[in-house]
Each structure stands twice: as C-alpha cells, then as structure tokens.
Amino acid sequence: MKKIMSLFIIAGVAFACTDDDIRSEHTLDNGPKIVGFSNEFETVSYFTDEGDVTLNFPIDLIGTGTGEQLSSAVEISYEVDNAATTVPATQGVEYDFADATGKVTIPAGGSFATLPIVVHTGSLNPTQKTELVIKLTSATNNTVIGEQYKTFKVIFVGCQSQLAGSYTVVITRSDSPAVVTWTDEDITMTSVNNFRSKRSGNYQIGVLQGTNGYKFVDICGEITVPQMNLNDVYSNILRPDPANNGLDGEVTGPNNFYTKYQIGFTNNTVWRGFTCTYTRNL
C-alpha cells in the first residue's frame, strides 16, 4: 500500500525567524532569485513495515530579487552526495526517487517545489541510522542556489528512542567552575525520537518566560540539538556547539545520556557552553 505525505513543516529542525538570525540571502528586494532548502535535515522514522510511503520535501524560493512573484518557472537540478555522510543510505533499499529525472520545478507564480522520495519502511536499519544527502546543483531562469541552502539530509531511523522519563541532571557551564544539580529533571517525548528537557542552561524554573527546556533528537544513541530561540521567546539563540561536529550528545547506557550546547549572550556575540549529564531516577 502506498501512502503520500507532504512535509511543509519540518519537525526535526524548524527554525523560527527573528531579527537575530535573518541571513543575508533573505533580502528580497535586490540581487538574483535564490532557491534552496529552508531546513537542514528531516528525520524519517519507521519501526514496522508500512509499505512504501512517499514523502514530499519542499525546495523553497527564498528570494526573487525584485520582491515580486515568479514570472516564469524555475527548474532545479539535484544529485545524491554520498561523500557527505559516513552512513549513506542505499537507493533501492531505504528509498527511491519517485521521479528519476533529477529535476523539480517551481511553477510561475509559485514559491516552492516538492521533491518526492519513496521510503521503503520495511527496509530501514533497526540498529543504525542511515542518511540520504541531496545537493542542489543548478537552477534555470537567472536563479542561483543559496550556498547555505544547497544541501538537505534525510535521516532514516529504524530504532526507537526510549529516553523519556525522570532524571537527575548535572549541568556545568564552560565559563564557570560552578556545577548545578537538579534531581527532578523531566525529559518529555514530543514526537518519535524528539524530546524536550525541563530546563535550559542552569536557569531555575520560573526565572525565564516562555516554554522551559530545549529540544533534542536521539537517533540510535546519537543526540542532535537543533538551533532555537531560548525558551522559544528570547532573541538569545540556543544552538549546537560548532566544535561538536553535529554530535551534540550520546546515550551512554540504558539510563544515562549527555548533551552539549551553547547559549548566546550580548546579541549572540558571546557564547557560553553547557554540558548536561543525565542519570535516570530509578
């Protein structure tokens, strides 16, 4: 049985746009037309064989140069970049392309195209993630591919995380010798393999407004912390530490894991690192 889904809101890394994180390519009233992936990755998780499922991933028109709608269609070419990952997925095993042309089209007057990928849900690796990295290579109609938007990663996951629960957490800050310990730290599952902590940084509950905690994803024991605004309301950015190289934490045992991330201060020009070590309360 074939199923079709459209992913216009990417849960794995859907970033809210604020004055602090608008990038230069977002200027819509000058320069060439710009296209690309607005999101960096999407996690695709299946733990039972549900047959072939077709997922549609958006490629967006990020700027038109004049601020006006497209007057004519833009054709975008793409390719698979297996060299960009150490755990490449295999076409014909985890996935296939619904269209073999290697091209998608944003129609005149449109703002996005969709890239349909067929996921073979019964063939995902049950113990290790695999990745499909797609790279945009060219675009027609006087259109350029934004350098920061040219690649997109589909992460196939056949292993289900069980991190939700009550923990004791020990938090250390990179610029302070002080260590904070809380014994009532709850980890809540927001969707499959996606979680939210009870606290951000070393702030006590009630000190900050907004929604407490930070988001993270556990994929077969490897943890990723997506960038977000602190508590979803502040201009301070909570982000992965660039030194982590994409690995922002690990599950180290059945009842233990850690995360590492940074919070920006002074208009996000000063970054303080936080290491959080969690032990499940048994």
Phi-psi region of 24 (alpha: psi -120 to 50; beta: other; left: phi over 0): alpha
Contact 138/75 with Cβ under 8 angstroms? no
Among 106, 139, 157, the domain boundary falls at: 157
Last residue of a domain, one of 141, 157, 173: 157
Same domain, 18 and 124: yes
Q: Which pLDDT score is estimated for 65?
A: 63
Same domain, 175 and 268: yes
pLDDT digits (tens, 9 = 90+) for 49-70: 999 999 999 999 987 766 678 8
Q: Compute φ and ψ for 176, nearest 5 degrees.
A: -145, 140
pLDDT band at 192 (very low <50, low <70, confident <90, very high): confident
pLDDT of residue 23: 39
The answer to whether residues 254 and 237 belong to one domain is yes
First-last CA distance in the chain = 42
Separation of alpha carbons 104 and 113, rounded Å: 6
Mean pLDDT computed over 256-271: 97
> What CATH number is attached to the domain comprising 76?
2.60.40.2030
Question: Are 153 and 54 found together in one domain?
Answer: yes
Q: Are residues 147 and 7 in the same domain?
A: yes
Q: Say yes or no: 143 and 190 in one domain.
A: no
Q: How many domains does the chain have?
A: 2
Mean pLDDT on 205-210: 93
**Cross-strand bridge partners of residue 262:** 239, 273
Per-residue pLDDT, 11: 36
Are residues 95 and 215 both part of a single domain? no
**Domain stop point among 157, 189, 215:** 157
Q: Is residue 108 located within the same domain as residue 219? A: no
Residues 177 and 123 in one domain: no
pTM of structure: 0.63
| 94 exposure class (CB count in 10 Å sphere: 0-12, 13-18, 19+) | buried
Domain, as residue range, for 23: 3-157
Do residues 146 and 170 share a domain? no
CATH number (domain holding residue 255): 2.40.128
Same domain for 82 and 123, yes or no, is yes
Q: Are residues 242 and 146 in the same domain?
A: no
User: What pLDDT score was predicted for residue 28?
Assistant: 42
Rounded to the nearest integer, the mean pLDDT of the chain is 88
Residue 67 is predicted with a pLDDT of 65
